[in-house]
Amino acid sequence: MTLPQALFFDMDGVIIDTEKDGHRVAFNKAFTEFGFDVFWDADYYGELIKVAGGKERMRHHLDIKGFGKDIDPTTVDELIVNLHKRKTDIFIDLIESGSLKLRPGIHRLMKEANDNDVPICICTTATQKAAEAVTSLSLPDISFSHILAGDIVEKKKPAPDIYLLGLEKTGKEASKCFIIEDSRNGMLAGRRAGINVAVTTSIYTSGENFDEANLAVSCLGDDDGEKGTLISGSVPGYEGVLTLSMLAALIL
């Protein structure tokens, strides 16, 4: 059986369930430090993450709800950048503290890819600094071919740009690769790039429509830990643990 030519992983919600207890917490702390009366609760953040990109989420909130005080329009761009920079530093502190754990099956599948010389590429809207912190601190024994993050492309998911760049960097054939995503926006980005997509749903995306994915599971699963459940699609031999050979079987 021919294995996938490359695996492309989203980060937030896929590698670590970072949104609710990571990024959301960091955004709120940054708002407080900057003197803004802004608090994103878990339900509201679930709506905000439909907007791709942290800076874009803050700008969206500012446009519809404000930051609780008047802001000079000429300073908004700089403010958003500075807020996001501080938020990223707080998020990295959370990663370094060890309070955010890998999702089931992530290390196992990545190790399987490394052992079979299948390149792994991270493709995320998170900042480069955050992506490098997650990969180096949470996955120190895993080799990555590329870490593509932040504003490296003009259009963020559901636009296919980040995955098209991944294909360009790895030199692989779209139809022979696989993406691991957790959201509909990410799935759409992958499919628009012509790449196969396996979805591992997160706390905020479990109710989204993933009919266009090759398959969707609740998590990738571990033999000696939490097992996943099949949400949509099918794969021969699946019993709660999604393997590299199972992904290969889905490539036409």
Q: Model-level pTM? A: 0.83
pLDDT of residue 95: 86
Within this chain, do residues 122 and 83 fall inside the same structural domain, yes or no? no
Closest C-alpha to 126, from 12, 40, 8, 7: 12
The pLDDT of residue 99 is 81
Tell me the C-alpha distance between 176 and 217, whole Å: 20
Find the CATH number of the domain harbouring 24. Answer: 1.10.150.240
pLDDT > 90 fraction of the chain, expressed in percent and rounded: 80
Tell me what pLDDT residue 115 has. Answer: 98
**Average pLDDT of the chain to the nearest whole number:** 94
In a domain, 2, yes or no: no
Q: How high is the pLDDT of residue 1?
A: 67
Q: Which domain holds residue 74?
A: 19-96
74 and 169 inside one domain: no
* pLDDT attached to residue 126: 82
Q: Which of 12, 17, 161, 182 is the catalytic position? A: 12
Can you list the alpha helix ranges (DSSP code H) found in the chain? 18, 24-33, 42-48, 54-64, 76-96, 106-115, 128-138, 161-170, 184-192, 244-249
CA 227 to chain centre: 20
Does the active-site annotation cover 182? Answer: no
Tell whether 111 and 178 lie within a shared domain.
yes
Tell me the pLDDT tens digit for each residue of 61-82: 999 999 999 899 999 999 999 9
User: Annotated catalytic, 115?
Assistant: no
Q: What is the mean pLDDT of residues 125-135?
A: 88
Query: Total domain count for the chain?
Result: 2
Q: Residue 211 pLDDT > 90, yes or no? A: yes
Residue 169 and residue 82 in one domain: no
Q: Is residue 55 part of a domain?
A: yes
Whether 240 and 160 share a structural domain? yes
Catalytic residue among 10, 161, 182, 222: 10
